[in-house]
């Protein structure tokens, strides 16, 4: 089983790079850890960009059951199709994420924002 933790961090200032951090574990063993800087994205879609970047890395593990841990309830709603946002740019990015997830045999996204214990673990794992 593969478990991946991901976060996209935007800056306070427009046109500055975003930061993407992720760690991938296979059966509780760390197999990948990356910190990537990418071109500016609007803050509403930074998490989408981070997840798309992670999905590119996870292509190596397509045959495994994959769980992706995020801390973004809005992104989770958009992936599940329950979001009511009228923002077309956000919806377009959410569709790209869904298309990326559909390429995997078994990939699920789990939002940790509602569980304090998992949120603390997610935060500790992505702090580097």
Q: Dihedral sign, CA of 15, 8, 71, 123?
A: negative
What pLDDT does 4 receive?
98
Question: What pLDDT does 108 receive?
Answer: 96
pLDDT at 12: 78
How would you list the strands of the sheet with 106-111, edge to edge? 29-38, 18-26, 2-9, 65-70, 106-111
Q: What is the pTM of this model?
A: 0.93
pLDDT for the residue numbered 15: 82
Run of H or E residues at 25: strand 18-26
Q: Which domains, and CATH codes, for the chain?
A: 2-125 (3.30.420.10)
Per-residue pLDDT 10s for the chain (128 aa) are 999 999 999 987 778 899 999 999 999 999 999 999 999 999 999 999 999 999 999 999 999 999 999 999 999 999 999 999 999 999 999 999 999 999 998 999 999 999 999 999 999 999 97
């Amino acid at each position: 089983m593969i478990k991946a933790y991901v976060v996209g961090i935007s800056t306070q200032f427009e046109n500055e790079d975003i930061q993407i951090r992720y760690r991938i574990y296979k059966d509780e063993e760390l197999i990948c850890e990356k910190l990537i800087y990418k071109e500016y994205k609007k803050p509403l879609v930074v998490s989408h960009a981070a997840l798309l970047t992670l999905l590119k890395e996870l292509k190596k593990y397509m045959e495994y059951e994959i769980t992706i841990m995020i801390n973004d309830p809005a992104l989770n709603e958009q992936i599940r199709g329950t979001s009511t946002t009228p923002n077309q740019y956000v919806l377009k990015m959410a569709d790209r994420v869904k298309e990326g997830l559909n390429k995997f045999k078994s990939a699920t996204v789990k939002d940790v924002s509602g569980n304090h214990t998992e949120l603390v673990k997610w935060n500790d794992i992505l702090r580097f």
